[in-house]
Structures are given as C-alpha cells and as structure tokens.
Chains A and B, each alone.
Chain A
Amino acid sequence: MQFFFYDTPKVLLLLTGVVFVMGMVNSYFTPERARALLAGRTEGVANAMAAGLGIVTPFCSCSAVPLFIGFVQAGVPLGVTFSFLISAPMVNEVALALLFGMFGWKIASLYLALGLAIAIVSGWVIGRLKMEACLEDWVRNMPRVQASADDTVLTLGDRIASGFASVREIVGRVWPYILAGIAIGAAIHGWVPENFMASFMGKSAWWSVPLAVLIGVPMYSNAAGVIPVVQALLAKGAALGTVLAFMMSVIALSLPELVILRKVLKWRFIATFVAVVAAGILIVGYLFNAVL
C-alpha cells in the first residue's frame, strides 16, 4: 500500500519529464527523414541507424503498415525497415522512464541496450534471409519513390509546444494503465505467496524463459501497463531475465500488430519475423539470468 502511494506520483512525474523531452526530440524526426537517411544504405550500419531512429521517430503503431510500405518504396532494405519496426514499440520512452523510476538506471539502460541489440540483429538476420519474395504481391508492385526529407522548419516555440502536446497525449492516455498496473502489482505483492513465481519463473527452471516468451506473445500491453506487473513478479522471486523476456515479448510481439502486418506480409514472413525476434528475446533472457 505504501508502495502504491509513494511510487505512483514519483513515477508519473518522471514519466512526464521524459515524455516532454522526447516530445521535443521527436519534433526533429519524421518518418520521411528517417526514410531519407536509410534509403539505399548498406546493411549492418543501416540496421544500427534504423534501430536508433526507431526510438526517436514518433510513430503510432497503426502507422506500421503505411510506414513499412513507404520505406520499401524508397528502397530501404527490408531488414533495415524491420530494425526500425522492432525497436520503435519495444524501446520506447515510456518503458524506459518507468523502468528507470521503478528499478533504477542500470536496469533501464540494460533494457535500452538489449532492445537495440535485438532490433539490430533481428533486422539484420531478416535482411540475410532475403524475404522479399514473401511480401504480398501488391506491395511489391508499388511504384518506387524518391526518399526526400521534408523541409519544414520548426521554431523552438513549436518544439516546446510539441513537448507539451506529447505529455498531454501520452501521459493523459497512459496514466490509468499505470495505476492499474501498480494496483495489480500491489495485489500480487499482497496475495501471491512469496516465491510462488520462483517455482516457475526462477533461474533454476530452464524452461521458464521460453515459457515467459510464449505467454507474452498473445498478450499485448503498452509498456506502461506491464511494468508494475513486472515489478511484482520480481518481488515474488521471478528471475530478472525471465521477467524482462516476458515484458519484451508482450510489447514487441503482439497479435493485433501481426494481424495488421498480415496485410503486407505473407504468413511465412510473419512466422519468420516472430521466430527471429522471439529467438532474440530468448537469448537476452538466458543471458540475463546467467549473468546476474
């Protein structure tokens, strides 16, 4: 209970600050600029850039398909596009702010680094697999487009306004999830017996990481809702790697997103995407458990 009252305002304040700053950073980046920066670049470097851009470019998940197609049309390599698409939802400022506020900067930066790593490597692997043939036909037939960045110049005032707008929009939308998540976390704290989680999410169970990833796939939550649950699981003895794997799986692999992607990707491609990202998350989970 005390955790609930103490942590909630602290977390919300931190979140507001981070969202505001990111709102301003976002005003420097648009999908068009990201595309212009990535078009035709050699893979490897491009994957890393894409993953980084995915974090700072504002991107609503229902835009995933238009953005995907736009990238393809301008000649951004498939794998690079995927690095962008994987890092964008997973390494998101809300998740980082909450992780930082609730678990400290070390865990937050680890999540950032590993999220980027998964985005870069998964994207690169997908690029190697030459999946172009598995794009839906109508996508492949779309005309090529020149990638040019737009030239709109924003004043500092505009950027600050966009920071405020971000706060209104994101914090305004997300705070009920945070409250609910913290409440659920508190409930788990209070009612689930100590070490219950350790029995199947603890380090010793080798199958706990794959299980966590599997459970995460059909579940979808934005970063805000899942983190407090993560906190409670950890407090009950679940291993950090397993819990982080669960969190990444919930956010990065979501059934609704896959359904939308189905419009542009054939089933084989979707399966490959899920397999590659899941594998990445699995490795991260195991690594974490082994190292910590």
Chain B
Amino acid sequence: MKEIKVLGTGCANCKNTVRLIEEVARGKGVEIHLDKVEELQQIMAFNVMATPGVVLDGKVVHAGGVPSRSKVESWF
C-alpha cells in the first residue's frame, strides 16, 4: 500500500490535489493511505518551498501547484 502525504495549508489547490490523487488511485485500483499535512512546522520538515506538496513513500515527488494528471499517474 502506498503512503501518500499531501502538504498544504488548506487552500483550493491542496484540496484539488487530494481529489486528483484519490481519483487516479481509484481508477488504477491501487490502495493508498492518504494523509493531509496542514501543520506548517510539519510541512517544513519536508523542505518544500511551495504548496501543495506531495510525498510518496517518504520522498517528495511534487511541490507547487496542482500536479498534472500524467504526473500523478506516473506515481502508481
């Protein structure tokens, strides 16, 4: 099961990112555990400079803006 964290303080882009990831994962039948990290101090622990950020199995795979669908699909 993939561990995914979406880093963001809760603006529309962050919500859209969560929705996109869940949608793609469901479409591919991949089981994921998705965590929303909204606490600033926790977000900064990943050293991202732009939100929304996406962490896949402990590694930062995206930061800044909503990721493109093809990018999200490449993670699964």
Contacts and interface: CB of A to CB of B under 8 A. Distances in A.
Interface residues of A, number: 23
A132 interface: no
Interface residues of B, number: 19
Contacts of A62: 8-11, 13-14, 51
A70 B49 contact: yes
Contacts of A264: 40
B11 A60 contact: yes
A56 B48 CA distance: 19
Contacts of A70: 47-49
A62 B11 CA distance: 7
A44 interface: no
A260 to B, nearest CB: 7
A145 B47 contact: yes
Most interface-central of A30, A35, A66, A69 (chain B CB within 10 A) = A66
Contacts of B9: 62, 65, 260
A58 B13 contact: no
Chain A interface mostly helix, strand, loop or mixed?
Answer: helix
Interface in A193-251: none
Contacts, number: 51
Nearest to A65: B40
17 contacts: A31-B49, A31-B50, A31-B64, A35-B49, A59-B50, A60-B11, A60-B50, A60-B51, A62-B10, A62-B13, A62-B14, A65-B9, A65-B40, A66-B43, A66-B50, A71-B49, A73-B47
B2 to A, nearest CB: 23
Interface in A59-93: 59-60, 62-63, 65-67, 69-71, 73
Contact of B64 (A60, A71, A73, A260): A60
Nearest to A264: B40
Interface in B14-65: 14, 40-41, 43-44, 47-51, 53, 64-65
Given A63-B50, A66-B43, A66-B48, A58 B65 contact: yes
A67 B49 contact: yes
A247 B53 CA distance: 32
Contacts of B44: 66, 69, 142
Interface of A: 30-32, 35, 58-60, 62-63, 65-67, 69-71, 73, 138, 142, 145, 165, 260, 263-264
Contacts of B14: 62
Contact of A63 (B10, B51, B68): B51
